[in-house]
Structure 1
Amino acid sequence: MPTTDRKALAAAAVTVLLWSSAFVAIRDAIEHYSPGALALGRLASGAVVLVVIAVIRKAGLPKKQAWPGIIVSGLFWFGAYMVVLNWGEQEVDAGTAAMIVNVGPILIALLGGWLLKEGFPPRLMAGMAVSFAGAVVVGVSMSSGGRSSILGVVLCLLAAATYAVGVVAQKPALRHATALQATTYGCLIGMVACLPFAGKLVGEVAEAPLSATLNMVYLGVFPTALAFTTWAYALARTTAGKMGATTYIVPAVVVLMSWIVLDEVPGWLTFAGGALCLAGVAVSRTRKRVRETVDVAV
Structure 2
Amino acid sequence: MSRAKVVLATGFVILCWAYSPVGIHIALQAYAPDNLALLRFVIASIFMAGVAGFKGVSRPRVRDFPMFTVLGLFAVTLHHIALNYGQRGVSAGAASVLAQSTPLFSALLASTVFRERISTWQWGCVLGGLLGAGVVAVGDRGFGELDGHGLLILLAAASWSLYFALQKRYAQRYDGLTMVCFTLWSGTALLLVYLPGLPEELAQAPVSVNLAVLVLGIFPSALAYLAWAYVLTHSTVSRAAISLYLIPPVAMVLAWVLLAQRPSVMVIVGTVIVLASVGALTVKVR
Flag the structure with higher helix content.
Answer: 2
Q: Secondary structure at the match of 2:172?
A: coil
- Compute the displacement of 1:94 (Å): 0.7
Checking the alignment, whether the CA contact within 8 Å between 2:18 and 2:247 is kept in structure 1 is yes
Match of residue 50 from structure 1: 48
Number of equivalenced pairs = 286
| Aligned counterparts of 1:165 and 1:119: Cα–Cα separation in 2 | 18
CA gap of 1:146–1:61, structure 2 versus 1, over 3 A, is farther
1:247-290: per-residue Cα shift (whole Å, max 9, x none)?
Answer: 1111001011111111112211122122222222122122141x
The amino acid that maps onto 2:156 is A
Between 114-123 and 215-224, the greater mean CA deviation after superposition = 114-123
List per-residue Cα deviations over 1:146-202 (Å, max 9, x = no partner): 54x532211111111111111112223321212221111111111111112112211
Q: Which residue of 1 aligns with 2:28?
A: 30
Give the match for residue 172 of structure 1.
169
The CA deviation at 1:232 is 4.3
Q: What's the TM-score once normalised by structure 1's chain length?
A: 0.86
Change (3 A) 1:97 1:112: same
Amino acid at match of 2:172: R
Q: 2:261 matched to 1:277?
A: no
Given that 1:97 and 1:153 are in contact with CA atoms closer than 8 Å, whether structure 2 keeps it comes out as: yes
> 1:53 is matched by which residue type in structure 2?
V
- 2:209 counterpart residue number: 212
CA distance in 2 between partners of 1:224 and 1:132 (Å): 27
Cα 1:109–1:230 change in 2 (3 A) is farther
Relative to structure 1, the CA distance from residue 88 to residue 166 in structure 2 (aligned partners, 3 Å threshold; closer, same or farther) is same
Long gaps (5+) in structure 2: none
Q: Aligned AA for 2:138?
A: V
On the 8 A contact 1:131/1:280 being kept in 2, the answer is yes
Residues 176-191 of structure 1 mapped to structure 2, 5 A cutoff: 176-191=173-188
1:197 has 2:177 as partner: no
- Partners of 2:127 and 2:264 lie apart in 1 by 23
Following the alignment from structure 2 to structure 1, what is the Cα–Cα distance between the partners of residues 182 and 274? 32
User: Is the CA contact (8 Å cut-off) linking 1:66 and 1:172 kept in structure 2?
Assistant: no
97-106 vs 280-289, which moves further? 280-289
Q: Does the CA contact (< 8 Å) of 2:255 and 2:262 recur in 1?
A: yes
Distance 2:173 2:230 in 1: 13
Q: Name the structure 1 match of 2:255.
A: 258
Residues 27-55 of structure 1 deviation map (CA, whole Å, 9 limit, x = unaligned)? 11111111111100010000001112212
Match for residue 105 of structure 1?
103
The equivalent position to 1:70 in structure 2, one of 68, 71, 92, is 68
Distance 1:218 1:152 in 2: 24
Q: Which moved more, 1:273-282 or 1:208-217?
A: 273-282
Name the SS for the 1:180 alignment partner.
helix
RMSD of Structure 2 on Structure 1 (CA): 2.6
Aligned to 1:295: none
TM-score normalised by the chain length of structure 2: 0.89
| Cross-structure match for 2:125 | 127
